């Protein structure tokens, strides 16, 4: 089976102040919380999302990307 290309960088946008930051996403765990460097808010994953990147960023986390590429349900942290 061919290796699935995963984007490791994602731009997260704070829903409180609109600050945007591009970060490298972890591949070995789900990041439930994120400290906004713009306003200091602590972002928490929305209900039903596995991590803050799936909730507030332009690219979902690597496990979700991989599942979608395989045509599977992207329930990475269940």
Would 75 be classed as within a structural domain?
no
Would 1 be classed as within a structural domain?
no
Would 3 be classed as within a structural domain?
no
Would 2 be classed as within a structural domain?
no
Segments forming the whole domain that contains residue 19: 9-69
Cα torsion through 27, 30, 33, 39, rounded to 10: 30
pLDDT, residue 1, reads 54
Q: How many domains does the chain divide into?
A: 1
Would 76 be classed as within a structural domain?
no
Q: Is 38 helix (H, G, I), strand (E, B) or coil?
A: coil
pLDDT, residue 78, reads 52
pLDDT, residue 29, reads 82
Would 77 be classed as within a structural domain?
no
Taking the chain (78 residues) in runs of 10, the rounded mean pLDDT of each run is: 83 98 90 96 94 95 89 72
């Amino acid at each position: 089976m061919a290796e699935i290309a995963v984007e490791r960088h994602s731009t997260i946008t704070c829903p409180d102040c609109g600050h945007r930051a591009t970060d490298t996403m972890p591949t070995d765990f789900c990041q439930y919380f994120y400290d906004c460097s713009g306003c200091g808010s602590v972002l928490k994953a929305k209900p039903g999302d596995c991590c803050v990147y799936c909730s507030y960023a332009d690219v979902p986390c690597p496990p979700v990307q991989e599942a979608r590429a395989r045509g599977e349900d992207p329930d990475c942290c269940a």
